[in-house]
């Protein structure tokens, strides 16, 4: 079953609010809050992209220092980079899910 789009949900909510005792001013306020959430999700998405860029830069720097004497340290740094990348992917997935739910 496909869920209705975000604009459809807003329209349905706007039409049903008077039935549940909510006036148009309150509906407008709710719609503004939803738009604020969508904006914040967009900002968070941008921050995740910045984080991914930083991880790529760190990975490149680690690759430059991958010498025999540094192998143990490099493996620890790479593991940390992998953890950061995984966390960034999880955040991005969560943001995508929230954005999809808002739409």
Higher pLDDT, 103 or 84: 84
Boundaries of every domain in the chain: 6-102
Query: Tell me: the pLDDT tens digits for 15-72?
Result: 665 556 656 676 688 788 888 888 888 888 888 888 888 888 788 777 777 665 677 7
Under DSSP, the state recorded for 5 is: P
Cα–Cα nearest to 99, from 43, 20, 55, 56: 43
pTM: 0.48
Q: Environment class of residue 53 by beta-carbon count within 10 Å: exposed (0-12), middle (13-18) or buried (19+)?
A: exposed
Cα–Cα nearest to 48, from 9, 95, 82, 4: 95
What tokens does 97 get?
Answer: 């899910």
When pLDDT is cut at 50, 70 and 90, the band that residue 87 belongs to is confident
Residue 1 has pLDDT above 80, yes or no: no
């Amino acid at each position: 079953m496909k869920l209705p789009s975000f604009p459809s949900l807003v329209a349905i909510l706007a039409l049903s609010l008077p039935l549940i005792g909510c006036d148009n001013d309150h509906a407008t306020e709710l719609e503004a809050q939803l738009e604020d959430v969508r904006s914040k999700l967009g900002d968070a998405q941008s921050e995740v992209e910045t984080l991914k860029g930083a991880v790529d830069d760190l990975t490149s720097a680690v690759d430059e220092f991958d010498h025999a004497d540094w192998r143990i340290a490099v493996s620890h740094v790479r593991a940390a980079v992998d953890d950061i990348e995984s966390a960034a992917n999880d955040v991005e997935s969560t943001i995508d899910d929230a954005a999809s739910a808002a739409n």
